Amino acid sequence: MAKDAVSIHANTAQFFTRNPRGSRAKALDLSDIAAYQTFAETHHLSHLLAHAPYTLNACSADPHLRQFAKETIADDLSRLESLPNCCYNFHPGNHMKQGINQGVAFIANILNDVLTPQQHTMVLLETMAGKGTEVGWRFEELGAILNQVQLQHKMGVCLDTCHVWDSGYDIVHQLDAVLEEFDQIIGLPRLRAVHLNDSMNLCGSRKDRHAKIGQGQIGLDALVRIINHPKLRHLPFYLETPNDLSGYAEEISLLQHLYQPDSL
């Protein structure tokens, strides 16, 4: 993974901690940490983001599924302790028919059970598109979860540009206003990472279909404003566009070309 990232001139990389569909079988393999660290430093691979399996549901109505989510997150976090400068991102979940308040409470409970004062890894909640009964598509919902977590300094947010657009935040025409709203409800200092994706659908569609950079409804100009925005430009950006390695290489090269040097 790290070698692939470096081969396409990436300076960030995201990986799934295990099979994204959430099987128990194939757990995170961090066998060669020292070699990885040296490699990452040499090649300026500065940010790593671990992504939890997206099938976990920390607010399922089924207590066994909540327990499974809790154990998986706890196990991932304990393994990630051996990897420095890594954040751990997860999808808050689907509240099904239980209502948003119950969903928020279940998620916060799990975080309160698994987070420890000693851990180094920052845990990020991802902004969601609002498909079905997804929790976390309104900033208020993420803010509510964060407010119920005791170890708040271990928590942050990962903003997914496709998801926020699909959920109804107009980052094409109203980027400043959306960031202002984020700041008031969640707090911009909590924003730790950006998933940079175009979207196949219109703002407010609540669909979640990622498009290649510049080939969706968000468009290249808006995405370039995002990577250069004074409140965002320092953040690590991760592509989750439907691409193979050469497609990512092209997008990285395009975006690096359009990323303006610091004006200081």
208 binding Zn ion? (CB under 5 A): yes
Question: CA 48 to CA 224: how far, in whole Å?
Answer: 22
The partner in contact with residue 208, picked from Fe ion, Zn ion, none with C-beta cut-offs of 5 to 8 angstroms by kind, is Zn ion
Question: CA 161 to CA 193: how far, in whole Å?
Answer: 11
31-60 residues in contact with Zn ion (CB under 5 A) are none
- The packing angle between helices 139-148 and 100-114, to 10°, is 40
Residue range at the interface with Zn ion (CB under 5 A); choices 8-16, 83-91, 208-216, 247-255: 208-216
Output the smallest distance, CB 210 to Zn ion, in A.
6
Whichever of 10 and 164 has its CB closer to Zn ion, that residue is: 164
94-153 residues in contact with Fe ion (CB under 5 A) are 126
Residue range at the interface with Fe ion (CB under 5 A); choices 28-36, 101-109, 195-203, 217-225: 195-203
Among positions 134, 141, 160, 166, the unique one binding Fe ion when judged by CB under 5 A:
160
Provide the 8-state DSSP code for 261. P
Residue range at the interface with Zn ion (CB under 5 A); choices 13-21, 103-111, 206-214, 228-236: 206-214
Q: Are 224 and 258 in contact (CB under 8 A)?
A: yes
195 binding Fe ion? (CB under 5 A): yes
One-letter amino acid at 152 equals Q
* Beta carbons within 10 angstroms of residue 97's beta carbon: 8
Q: Give the residue among 218, 210, 219, 223 at the shortest CA–CA distance from 256.
A: 223
Whichever of 136 and 143 has its CB closer to Fe ion, that residue is: 136
Output the smallest distance, CB 253 to Fe ion, in A.
22
Residue range at the interface with Zn ion (CB under 5 A); choices 49-57, 75-83, 98-106, 207-215: 207-215
Output the smallest distance, CB 166 to Zn ion, in A.
8
Q: Which residue has the tokens 């099904």?
A: 96
- Residues 255-264: contacts with CB within 8 Å, 24+ apart? 255/196, 255/213, 255/223, 255/224, 255/227, 256/9, 258/220, 258/224, 258/227, 258/228, 259/227, 259/228, 259/233, 260/228
Q: Total residues contacting Zn ion (rule CB under 5 A)?
A: 1
134 binding Zn ion? (CB under 5 A): no
Binding site for Zn ion (CB under 5 A): 208
Q: Which residues bind Fe ion (CB under 5 A)?
A: 126, 160, 195, 240
